[in-house]
Chain A
Amino acid sequence: MSVPLLAIRDLTVRYQSNDGAVEALRGVSMRAEAGEVVGIVGESGCGKSTLVAALIALLAANAEISAGTVELQGRDILRRTAAEKRALRGAEIAMVFQDSMTAFSPVLTLGTQLVDFQHNLPNLTRQDKLARAKTMLAKVGIADPALCLGRFPHQLSGGMRQRAAVAAALLMSPQVLVADEPTTALDVTMEAQILHLLRSLRAEINGTILIVTHHLGVIGELCDRVYVMYAGEVVEEATVDDLYHAPRHPYTRALIDCDPAHLATRTAVLPTIPGRPPSLVSPPKGCAFAPRCTLADAQCHSIRPPRVHISPSQAALCHKVAL
C-alpha cells in the first residue's frame, strides 16, 4: 500500500487550563491521499480546531502533544524545529481561514501580500510573482485581477476576500490545503459560489484538500471521504455517500437527522440531540456519546468502544455497530 500523502496517527493533545488538563484530542487517526477532498465534520468542542492548529503547528503555548504523529509523505512534521516548521507552512501545508478579513494584513495591498506569500520560491523575480498572483486571482474567479492587486483587504467584499484567501493559499502550490470553515462567514449565495470554486480547483491541486466544518451541507457538496469527530475522537469515517445514506454511528445518524436541510417534509418540531458533549477535563470511561445515545447500555457507559471496520472505507467507534 502506498504511503498516504497525509497521515495522522493516534494524535493526542492536552491543554493546561485553570480547571485542569483538557484532553482536546484523544487518539485521532486520519489519512488523506493526493487528489482527494477529505472532510472533517463536528460540532463545537469536538476538537477539530485543535486538530487544524496541530497540523499547521500553531497550537497554543499551553497545549501539549502527548502522543501520536502527523506525517506528510512519511515524514513526521510535529517534531521538527521551529525553523523547519516555518518552512513547512505555506509550502507544504496551506490554510484558508474562516475569517478572510484577518487572513490579510490591513495595511498592505493585496498585491504586496500575495508576492510575500511566495517568498519560498527564490528563483522568481518580483515581476514573475506578480504575474503568478494575477493568474491565480483570475483562476479563483475575480473579475479584474490587476485592479484587485492594488486594493487593500478592507476595500474588497467578503466574497472577493475569501476568493483572494484561496488564491493566496494556492500560490504556494501546497501539498495539503486546509480550509477551516471556509464559508461560514459568507451569505448563502456567495457560499454556493465558493463551494463551486473549491470543487473546480481540485484539478489545480496535486495534493489533498481538507475541509473542516460543522456544516453537513458543505461536506455533502465538496468531499469524497469524511471523518466525523465527537469529544476529541473520530467516531466515524466513511465515503460521503455512505456517510449520508448508510451512517453507522448513532451520533452521525442523529446529526444528519437534526439537519433541517435533510428533513424532507415540513415538521413543526425539529429533532435535537438532548444533552451536551462531555467535559474533557475528565474524559468519560466508556463511550463519550453514551449519555446522549438512544442505544446505549451498561457496556457503553463503562467500556471504551472498539473501532469496527464495516468496510475498507467505513469504520465506526461503537459497541452497537457490530451487532
Chain B
Amino acid sequence: MSFEGEASLAEALPPKRRTAWRALRRDPMGMTGAVLVGTFVFLALLAPWIAPYDPAKIDVLNKFQSPDWNHLLGTDHLGRDLLSRIIWGARVALGIAITATGVAGAIGLILGLIAGFGPRWLDAILVLLFDSFSSLPMIMFALAIITVLGPGTQTLILVIVIISIPGYARLIRAQTLSLRMADYIQAERAIGASSARIILRHLLPNVVGPLVILLSMDIPVVIMLEAGLSYLGFGVKPPTPSWGNILYDGYTSLRAAPNMVIVAGAPLVLCTIGFTFLGEGLRDALDPKLKLRVRR
C-alpha cells in the first residue's frame, strides 16, 4: 500500500531527542548539586595524592594550631592536619555510603522486581519480610549488630545494607506492580516474551529511574548515619579519619579549638546539600511528563 503525504510525515517527526543530561544542564539547582558531588568524589578518589599530610601523623607539639599556611584548616588535639583528615574522611564517607547504597540498591532492585512481577504467593512472603525489617528502629538495630560483630567499616556496610534493602525493594515493587498491567507489558506477553525477558528488558529500565534518584538522596543519609555512629564510637575505628570522629574530637575540644567542629560539620552539610540537589535535579530531568511540548 502506497503511503501518501510522506513529506508531511517527515515533518511530523520531532527534531531532537531531549536527553536527561541536557535537561539537567539547564537546571541550576541540579548543576550545583552535581558540582558539589563531583568535588567530593574527586577528593575521595585522589585523597592519597592531594592530602598534604598523613592523616594519622601525630605531632603533639603542634596541637590546636589555628589555620595557617602550613595547615590550611589547622590541627586537632593530636596535632594531626585537619585538611588531610577531612579529605581522607571524604574517602571513608563516600566509600561506605556509595558501596552500601549501591549494594542495597542492587539487591532491592532484584527483590522488588521478583515481588512485583512474580507469583503472588512469593510477593506476599517478600512483603512480609520487608515489613518486618522496616519496623525495626534503625539505630537500635545498627547498634545491636555492631555490638555483636564489633565496630568497623565492614560491619557498618553490612548494617546499612540490611536496613536499606526493604525501602528500595518496596519502591521497585510498587513501580513494578504498576507497570505489570501496562499495555506494553501485556503486548510483550502476547508476542511470547518469557518472564525473564520482560523483567530484564522491559521492566528494569523503566523502574530504575526513581531508584537512582532515591539512592542519590540516600547517600547523604548514610553519610550522616556513619558520622553519627562514628561519633558514638560505634562506627569507623580511630585512627581512620571519619567526619564523625573528627566531629567528636571537635566536641571534646570545643574550648580549645572551636574551629574543629565547624571544619568537621561543613563537609557533612555541603555533601548533604550536594547529593540532595543532585537527586532533585535528576528527578526533574528524568521525569518525562515535565518535558513541555506544544501539542496541537
Contact = CB atoms under 8 A, between A and B. Distances in A.
* Contact, chains A and B (beta carbon distance below 8 A): yes
Interface of A: 15-19, 22, 24, 44-45, 62, 274-276, 278-280, 291-292
A292 B248 CA distance: 79
Contacts of A62: 294
Contacts of B4: 274-275
A3 B294 CA distance: 36
A292 B294 CA distance: 25
Given A17-B294, A18-B294, A62-B294, A279 B11 contact: yes
A150 B241 CA distance: 65
Given A18-B294, A276-B9, 10 more contacts: A18-B293, A19-B294, A22-B296, A44-B296, A274-B4, A274-B5, A275-B8, A276-B8, A276-B12, A279-B8
B119 interface: no
A15 B293 CA distance: 11
28 contacts: A15-B294, A16-B294, A17-B293, A17-B294, A18-B293, A18-B294, A19-B15, A19-B294, A22-B296, A24-B296, A44-B296, A45-B296, A62-B294, A274-B5, A275-B4, A275-B5, A276-B5, A276-B8, A276-B9, A276-B12, A278-B8, A279-B8, A279-B11, A279-B12, A280-B296, A291-B5, A291-B8, A292-B5
Interface centre among B9, B12, B294 (most CB of A within 10 A): B294
Contacts of B294: 15-19, 22, 62
Which secondary structure dominates where chain A touches chain B? loop
B16 to A, nearest CB: 9
Of the candidates B4, B15, B293, the one having the most CB atoms from chain A within 10 angstroms of its own CB is: B4
Contacts of A45: 296
Nearest to B8: A276
Contacts of A24: 296
Contacts of B11: 279
A276 B7 CA distance: 10
Contacts of B15: 19
A263 B252 CA distance: 91
Nearest to A279: B11
Interface string B41-74: 0000000000000000000000000000000000
Contacts of B5: 274-276, 291-292
Nearest to A62: B294
Nearest to B6: A275
Nearest to B292: A18
A276 B9 CA distance: 8
Contacts of B296: 22, 24, 44-45, 280
A44 B296 CA distance: 7
A274 B12 CA distance: 15
The 4 A-B residue pairs with the shortest CB-CB distance, nearest first, are: A17-B294, A275-B5, A45-B296, A274-B4
Contacts of A19: 15, 294
A274 B1 CA distance: 12
Interface in B1-28: 4-5, 8-9, 11-12, 15
